[in-house]
Amino acid sequence: MPANAINAPSAKTPGADLSAALIAHVERALADKAPLRIQGGNTKAFYGRPVDGGLLDTRGHRGIVSYDPTELVITARAGTPLVEVEAALDAAGQMLPCEPPHFGAGATVGGMVATGLSGPRRPWVGSVRDFVLGCRVISGGAKHLRFGGEVMKNVAGYDVSRLMVGSLGSLGLITEVSFKVLPKPRNSVSLRLEMDTDTALERFAEWGQQPLPITAACHDGEALMLRLEGGEGSVAAARERLGGEAVSPAFWQAQREHELAFFQDPRPLWRISVANDSRPALPTGSQLIDWGGAQRWLKTEADADAIRAAASAAGGHASCFTPDVTDSPLHPLPEVLLRYHRQLKAQLDPQGLFNPGRMYAGL
């Protein structure tokens, strides 16, 4: 971390607090019984079902509210561009550990939380949800509520702030989020090891039981790609042991942002989430194996039911990242879980204002 960042008590970026205007917008929608379609940078509009509602754009409500590098905590408004947050962190030698994908230049903090999508480091450090300390949310009753805080120790009982992660805006309008951040690793090296898919899966299982400084691992169909990060000694020792050819670290950003050649295949894209040691019998198609085997990206023309049956048989689930392929892009929930979702929706958004049907029809 730069010396000048260590003593900095706080940091802010220019922005605007439009909380009052957002609350007024929700109040009007509540009075008119008019559903709202929440939108930030709109870079992840493909994820989930389409929403029929009046546009509520959060991009004007932006800015880093506070950032204390010594406390490893940053708070930003929902419309703040992710690139702005990442630039502030980078200047202090820190990062968002979960490597959230942008999928476009306009990605915002609110969209990152609402979708809950994480990048290649996720199995080793945690997901977006694991780094959310607190948030402010406008409820379906037009009340501006605060959940959690800015320190890890304040979490007691049911953590509503983390409930917002991955809810696709269906439980409330996120206005502000506090995150825990981490220092950037001192050393990092990316490797390419030639081996087939079966061998790679065996290596994933073997290395997962050993103290290796792995922070990313995927198989692109031809070779195993690894990222090693940590102290100089541990990275050097692991690199000597594992072998392979050093490659550009840009691979991981291209993978995270779906810019690899694999993702240009015109066939529908599915994400299969399974245990990292499972061998799901997926339909015919092209695969990119990520997260040390726990996430399978699948390009296929196969039927949605067949894909989901294969994922379920392996104890996992399947979501479609290509619009208009299936009426239920997210894996259907068992009835008991769907009932809990409905109850939560009824408590936080009783009039069904926010992103109705974005996650599931009728929710």
Instruction: Please state the rounded mean pLDDT for residues 113-127.
Output: 97
Quote the pLDDT of residue 174: 97
Which of the pair, 363 or 321, is modelled with greater confidence? 321
Give the residue among 277, 297, 284, 294 at the shortest CA–CA distance from 198: 277
Quote the pLDDT of residue 11: 65
What digits encode the pLDDT tens for the residues 180-225? 999 999 999 999 999 999 999 999 989 988 999 999 999 998 999 9
| Distance from the Cα of residue 212 to its chain's centroid | 24
User: Are the CB atoms for 359 and 170 separated by under 8 Å?
Assistant: yes
Identity (one letter) of the amino acid at 187? N
> pLDDT class for 158, splitting at 50, 70, 90?
low
What digits encode the pLDDT tens for the residues 319-357? 999 999 999 999 999 999 999 999 999 999 999 999 999
User: Are the CB atoms for 38 and 169 separated by under 8 Å?
Assistant: yes
The answer to whether residue 7 scores a pLDDT higher than 50 is no
Share of the chain above pLDDT 70, in %: 94
Mean pLDDT of the chain: 93
- CA distance linking residue 144 with residue 181, whole number of Å: 25
Instruction: Please state the rounded mean pLDDT for residues 71-80.
Output: 97
Quote the pLDDT of residue 277: 84
Quote the pLDDT of residue 150: 63
Quote the pLDDT of residue 29: 97
What digits encode the pLDDT tens for the residues 45-62? 999 999 999 999 999 999
User: Are the CB atoms for 15 and 64 separated by under 8 Å?
Assistant: yes
Quote the pLDDT of residue 13: 73
The answer to whether residue 2 scores a pLDDT higher than 60 is no
Answer yes or no: CATH 3.40.50.1100 is held by domain 3-183: no
- CA distance linking residue 248 with residue 48, whole number of Å: 33
The structure's pTM equals 0.92
Identity (one letter) of the amino acid at 310? A
Quote the pLDDT of residue 1: 37
Residue ranges covered by each domain of the chain: 3-183, 187-320
| Three-state DSSP state, 7 | coil
